[in-house]
Amino acid sequence: MISLFNKPEQANLKIEDDRTGLEIDTLRRALADNLFYNQGKFPEIATKNDYYMALAYTVRDRLLQRWLNTTQTYLDKDVKLVAYLSAEFLLGPHLGNNLLNLGIYDQVKQAVTASGLDLDELLAQEEEPGLGNGGLGRLAACYMESLATLEIPAIGYGIRYEFGIFDQEIRDGWQVEITDKWLQFGNPWELARPEAAVMVKLGGRTESYIDENGHYQSRWIPDRVVKGIPYDTPIVGYRVNTANTLRLWRAEAPESFDFQMFNVGDYYGAVDQKVYSENLTKVLYPNDEPIQGKQLRLEQQYFFVSCSLQDMIRMHLYTGKNLDTFHTRFAVQLNDTHPAIGIAELMRLLVDEHHFPWETAWEITQQTFGFTNHTLLPEALEKWPIDLFGSLLPRHLEIIYEINRRFLDQVRLKYLGDDARLARLSLIDESGPRYVRMAHLACVGSHAINGVAALHSELLKRDTLRDFYELWPEKFSNKTNGVTPRRWIALSNPRMTALITQKIGDRWLTHLEDLRQLEPFAENASFRQEWRQIKRAIKQDLAAYILAKTGIAVNPDSLFDIQVKRIHEYKRQHLNVLHIITLYHRLKQDPNLDIPPRTFIFGGKAAPGYFMAKLIIKLITSVADVVNHDPDMRDRLKVVFLPDYNVTLGQRVYPAADLSEQISTAGKEASGTGNMKFSMNGALTIGTLDGANIEIREEAGAENFFLFGLTAQEVYDLQARGYHPWDYYQGNGQLKTVLDLLAGGYFSHGDTQLFRPLIDSLLYHDPFLLLADYQSYIDCQEMVSQAYKDQEKWTRMSILNTARMGKFSSDRAIREYCEEIWHTQAVPITLKAYVQADAGLRVPNSGVK
Ligand code: 26Q
């Protein structure tokens, strides 16, 4: 039966339209049509990718009505919109998600099969848009999906990087970066909107003048102008008519600039200019790269923020409104400080270009912005050298000085004579070379500031943003992250989804707290058996994938112990390795040791300039080589590094996990979101009291969570007392053996130098307290092994983990943002007559308003 939840109100469609119809035969015809007319291919010579493209267009046709209708409704109805500003959107592949959310998965699968094709093979063709580094970018993507599902008017703004996060290959155990050419075969999911292009100024100088009313004004004389072209992608809500827009900007040289130079004969200069402009949105910067001198990154940030604010202002004015109500029309959320320049930019647009008095402009600006912080690591707080900032954005620097002057005047009134506090709060860091502090700009210019997990929000108030909290406690709140159950359960784990739905119906997909209804089934032996069989089948699939990609054969009955995330010292992948070596050594010593077989699976990218992270990858692959080739370990231990971890691979990996490794040093991981994806899919967690792990444990129950390690407070106290990792090395025989094996070249063909930097860092500094947490981790892993031996008990715990993860739906998170920060409400979309399927060549929109 065909799902018609979204049937147009005026259901007068007798004959199905090839662009909208959902009958199997119509879909099959549409696919053939798109192959011919869009790909320009006869079936005999069409490639798999041609078929993928034809299918993507077939699906896009079926969402365009919802999309255009949604956009038009927002314009017509003058509703309040969320504008989610993010330098990253890590979307992952669209096709499967759109099929799922539109409710047409089954009939499309049938139509594809009827055409002699395999849907899974076509799905595998899609190059994922990897326009983000990791957690922060993926969070933005989950939030866009939840906004659409909750029918909240929203628009995402970001950058259309020509090259997203690099593809990772492993050669000789080392990471090699390959350019991500995600656009090389075209992108069927976006529509360029060149008619909505905007101009962005850069560089130059400012000038002051007195306007006709005798007011002092400032004007920016840039030395460059770049054109921003929007590319729109629909974000379809789950089984609703809402399809919001993700608007990504691409930089281009404005024609007028070329022509100017062309006219004076400087043809090559004009081409240079063009190439230079287009560089702006070429490539995504990896995080954890030293940012010193990365002018292009600041240009990217300003470019997309300026384009987006100009776009919003144009929309607002188009609906006939005055800009003094801008904040009632748009709630702009800053995804970390990367778009924080928006605060100075909105001030500039209001004051310089729309001639608002400063005070009014500031009121509007503060009411408009909210700021989400994603980090506690002080070295990760964004700051820009004053010289660089001033040469690129001279007017914004003036505006920031003025914001700062007024802000510090206010502070001075409250804390008379407290100069140290003034220096700490200032938007300008003057402790050495001068910098603009982007987090301070974001705090001062926003009405709401939030962290991304309970602990993180508390630590923000206590440490990182303490002075701001003391000044404005009412601005602070917590919004624990969430992930979308549509992609991270329904799409990635169809087997488990079917089993759950069979037992409790399908409401849980939009009301994840309903999963609690599964709790009683944990006590049902036949349900447990089904649960186990499903996990086994998924592990079998992953094993086949591992064999195909790495040549390593793994046993699907072994415990799949998985750590997938960016490689970073604070995330402590190397602590996981210390455990592997410990087990390896124990098994070598005592081959009769009774421990369940384990497969250790790693995945993650290292920033290209982060030496230690790259060395950790080499460490994992080196240990893997020795362990996997040791006949004594056969079927007992396996170690796998899965290359090129990304969203697509995540969808394979999370459902296959028995154990989820969430082992960051307490107080360092703001939230984590992979931790939620694992647990939802029935993995048990071994983790520290860090980020959202704490809340996951609270929800799942302490008895269903493997806890180890120091608390954030203990970490802090230990470091304050003076931490001496060497003492742990000396005092723990097992730890010493493990580190000695490593240092002695056991895993590096006798090379004692290869891992020296890692070992020295651990023995003499150990900033992330691996040695302090080592024994606790090993003991906890022993409990994991014991628990796994009792499969019935393990399965019970697994079911309860899934049943109790309702809180971690991004729907819950988005509801909290809507109620407490954005003050926005759902606006359901009805498909009106003017978008009926047989509208033929009528101009959409005509005669409708
Ligand atoms: C900044 C300046 C210049 C170049 C790059 C960057 C940059 C880019 C990306 C800095 C940081 C990031 C990404 C940070 C990130 O992913 N943070 C993670 O956010 C998740 C969502 O809130 C949390 O769950 C993770 O705990 C946090 O690490």
Domain CATH number, residue 771: 3.40.50.2000
CA atoms in the 13 A half-sphere facing the CB of 497:
17
User: Do you know the residue count of the chain?
Assistant: 849
Atom 9 (ligand 1) nearest CA:
287
Residues 391 and 506 in one domain: no
Distance 133 CA to ligand 1 centre (A): 7
In the chain, what percentage of residues exceed pLDDT 90? 89
Residues belonging to the active site: 374, 565-566, 571, 673, 677
Q: Which of 304, 374, 665, 814 to mutate to test the pocket of ligand 1 (most atoms within 8 A of CB)?
A: 374
In the chain, what percentage of residues exceed pLDDT 70? 95
Atom 8 (ligand 1) nearest CA:
287
Q: What domain range is 634 assigned to? A: 492-715+767-808
Whether 569 and 767 have beta carbons less than 8 Å apart is answered as: yes
Residues 504 and 395 in one domain: no
Whether 483 and 809 have beta carbons less than 8 Å apart is answered as: yes
Percentages of the chain per state (helix, strand, coil), in multiples of 5: 55, 15, 35
Q: Give CA–CA dist 372/160, Å, rounded.
A: 22
Which residues are bridge partners to 246 per DSSP? 156, 233
Q: Is residue 532 part of a domain?
A: yes
3-state secondary structure of 167: strand
Q: What is the mean pLDDT of residues 376-391?
A: 92
Q: Could you tell me where the beta strands, DSSP code E, fall in 527-664?
A: 559-564, 598-603, 637-642, 659-662
Alpha carbon 344 to its chain's center: 25
Atom 21 (ligand 1) nearest CA:
136
Residues 424 and 347 in one domain: yes
Q: Is residue 117 part of a domain?
A: no
Q: What is the mean pLDDT of residues 577-586?
A: 98
419-439 pLDDT, tens per residue?
999 999 999 999 999 999 999
Please tell me if the CB atom of residue 452 comes closer than 6 angstroms to any atom of ligand 1: yes
Nearest to 559 by CA among 245, 252, 786: 786
Distance 566 CA to ligand 1 centre (A): 10
pLDDT at 752 > cutoff 80 = yes
Q: What is the mean pLDDT of residues 355-364?
A: 97
Q: Which residues contact 550 (CB under 8 A, 6 or more apart)?
A: 640, 641, 642, 643
Amino acid 833: pLDDT = 47
Please tell me if the CB atom of residue 291 comes closer than 6 angstroms to any atom of ligand 1: yes
pLDDT band of residue 712 (cuts 50, 70, 90) is very high
Q: Give CA–CA dist 171/613, Å, rounded.
A: 16
pLDDT at 502 > cutoff 90 = yes
Residues 345 and 368 in one domain: yes
pLDDT, averaged across the chain: 94
Amino acid 258: pLDDT = 53
Given the CA of residue 294, which atom of ligand 1 is nearest to it?
3
648-666 pLDDT, tens per residue?
999 999 999 999 999 999 9
Please tell me if the CB atom of residue 687 comes closer than 6 angstroms to any atom of ligand 1: no
C-alpha separations of 546 from 97, 167, 549 in Å: 24, 18, 5
Q: Which of 287, 460, 479 to mutate to test the pocket of ligand 1 (most atoms within 8 A of CB)?
A: 287
Q: Is residue 517 part of a domain?
A: yes
Residues 468 and 515 in one domain: no
What's the angle, vertex CA 282, arms to CA 279 and CA 286, rounded to 5? 120
Atom 19 (ligand 1) nearest CA:
136
Residue whose entry in the numeric block shows the structure tokens 């079911």:
799
**What phi and psi values does residue 206 have, to the nearest 5 degrees?**
-115, 160
Nearest to 679 by CA among 667, 668, 691: 691
Amino acid 163: pLDDT = 98
777: left (phi over 0), alpha (psi -120 to 50) or beta: alpha
Q: Is residue 623 part of a domain?
A: yes
Amino acid 259: pLDDT = 53
Please tell me if the CB atom of residue 693 comes closer than 6 angstroms to any atom of ligand 1: no
pLDDT at 216 > cutoff 90 = no
Whether 257 and 352 have beta carbons less than 8 Å apart is answered as: no
Q: Could you tell me where the beta strands, DSSP code E, fall in 356-427?
A: 369-372, 383-385
Amino acid 847: pLDDT = 30
Q: Any idea which of 74-88, 100-114, 252-266 has the lowest mean pLDDT?
A: 252-266
Atom 12 (ligand 1) nearest CA:
287
Residue whose entry in the numeric block shows the structure tokens 């930089």:
251
DSSP state of 483: B
pLDDT band of residue 297 (cuts 50, 70, 90) is very high
CA atoms in the 13 A half-sphere facing the CB of 797:
22
pLDDT band of residue 293 (cuts 50, 70, 90) is low
Q: Which of 85, 131, 136 to mutate to test the pocket of ligand 1 (most atoms within 8 A of CB)?
A: 136
Q: Could you tell me where the beta strands, DSSP code E, fall in 216-341?
A: 216-221, 224-236, 243-252, 330-335
Which residues are bridge partners to 687 per DSSP? 662, 707
Distance 460 CA to ligand 1 centre (A): 15
Q: Which of 138, 295, 375, 605 to mutate to test the pocket of ligand 1 (most atoms within 8 A of CB)?
A: 375
Amino acid 4: pLDDT = 36
Amino acid 289: pLDDT = 76
Please tell me if the CB atom of residue 671 comes closer than 6 angstroms to any atom of ligand 1: yes
* Helix/strand/coil (H/E/C) assignment for every residue in 493-542: CHHHHHHHHHHHCCHHHCCHHHHHHHHHHHHCHHHHHHHHHHHHHHHHHH
Whether 720 and 758 have beta carbons less than 8 Å apart is answered as: no
Which residues are bridge partners to 243 per DSSP? 236
Please tell me if the CB atom of residue 135 comes closer than 6 angstroms to any atom of ligand 1: yes
694-706 pLDDT, tens per residue?
999 999 999 999 9
Distance 271 CA to ligand 1 centre (A): 35
Please tell me if the CB atom of residue 134 comes closer than 6 angstroms to any atom of ligand 1: yes
Amino acid 730: pLDDT = 98
- For the chain, what is the domain count? 2
pLDDT band of residue 218 (cuts 50, 70, 90) is confident
Q: What is the mean pLDDT of residues 334-355?
A: 97
Q: Give CA–CA dist 185/181, Å, rounded.
A: 9
12-51 pLDDT, tens per residue?
445 688 888 889 999 999 999 999 999 999 999 999 999 9
pLDDT band of residue 3 (cuts 50, 70, 90) is very low
Q: Give CA–CA dist 506/484, Å, rounded.
A: 15
Q: Is residue 727 part of a domain?
A: no
Atom 5 (ligand 1) nearest CA:
287
Q: Give CA–CA dist 499/487, Å, rounded.
A: 17
Residues 473 and 497 in one domain: no
Nearest to 86 by CA among 155, 153, 147: 155
Distance 400 CA to ligand 1 centre (A): 24
Residue at which a domain ends, from 423, 456, 481: 481
Q: Any idea which of 18-32, 247-261, 290-304, 655-669 has the lowest mean pLDDT?
A: 247-261
pLDDT at 540 > cutoff 90 = yes
Amino acid 795: pLDDT = 98
Amino acid 838: pLDDT = 44
**What phi and psi values does residue 424 have, to the nearest 5 degrees?**
-70, -35
CB atoms within 10 A of CB 345: 23
Please tell me if the CB atom of residue 139 comes closer than 6 angstroms to any atom of ligand 1: yes
Which residues are bridge partners to 169 per DSSP? 176
Q: What is the mean pLDDT of residues 670-677?
A: 98
pLDDT at 574 > cutoff 50 = yes
Residues 353 and 500 in one domain: no
Please tell me if the CB atom of residue 451 comes closer than 6 angstroms to any atom of ligand 1: no
Q: Is residue 720 part of a domain?
A: no
Q: Give CA–CA dist 133/374, Å, rounded.
A: 13
Amino acid 377: pLDDT = 83
Q: What is the mean pLDDT of residues 444-466?
A: 97
**What phi and psi values does residue 338 have, to the nearest 5 degrees?**
-55, -40
601-644 pLDDT, tens per residue?
999 999 999 999 999 999 999 999 999 999 999 989 999 999 99
Task: For residue 214, count CB atoms less than 10 angstroms from its CB and return exposed for 0-12, middle for 13-18, buried for 19 or more.
Answer: exposed
Residues 217 and 352 in one domain: yes
Please tell me if the CB atom of residue 297 comes closer than 6 angstroms to any atom of ligand 1: yes
Residue 455 belongs to what H/E stretch? helix 454-459
pLDDT at 228 > cutoff 80 = yes
Amino acid 15: pLDDT = 66
Q: Is residue 753 part of a domain?
A: no
Please tell me if the CB atom of residue 482 comes closer than 6 angstroms to any atom of ligand 1: no
C-alpha separations of 649 from 53, 80, 413, 602, 646 in Å: 21, 36, 55, 12, 5
Please name the amino acid found at residue 166: F
Q: What is the mean pLDDT of residues 746-758?
A: 98
Whether the model clears a pTM of 0.85, i.e. scores above it, the answer is yes
Amino acid 811: pLDDT = 98
DSSP state of 523: G
Q: What is the mean pLDDT of residues 53-77?
A: 96
Distance 291 CA to ligand 1 centre (A): 14
pLDDT at 268 > cutoff 80 = no
Nearest-Å Rg of the Cα atoms of the chain is 28
Provide the token pair at 49. Answer: 């990718």
Residues 622 and 666 in one domain: yes
DSSP state of 711: -
Amino acid 842: pLDDT = 36
pLDDT band of residue 5 (cuts 50, 70, 90) is very low
Provide the token pair at 653. Answer: 């990996």
Amino acid 17: pLDDT = 86
Residues 472 and 499 in one domain: no
Residues 508 and 477 in one domain: no
CB atoms within 10 A of CB 641: 25
Please name the amino acid found at residue 525: A
3-state secondary structure of 714: helix
Q: What is the dihedral of CA 147, 151, 154, 160, to 10 degrees?
A: 60
Residues 474 and 524 in one domain: no
Q: Which residues contact 218 (CB under 8 A, 6 or more apart)?
A: 206, 207, 208, 209, 351, 352, 395, 398
Q: Is residue 743 part of a domain?
A: no
Q: How close are the terminal C-alpha atoms of the chain, in Å?
A: 35
812-845 pLDDT, tens per residue?
999 999 999 999 999 999 987 444 444 443 334 3
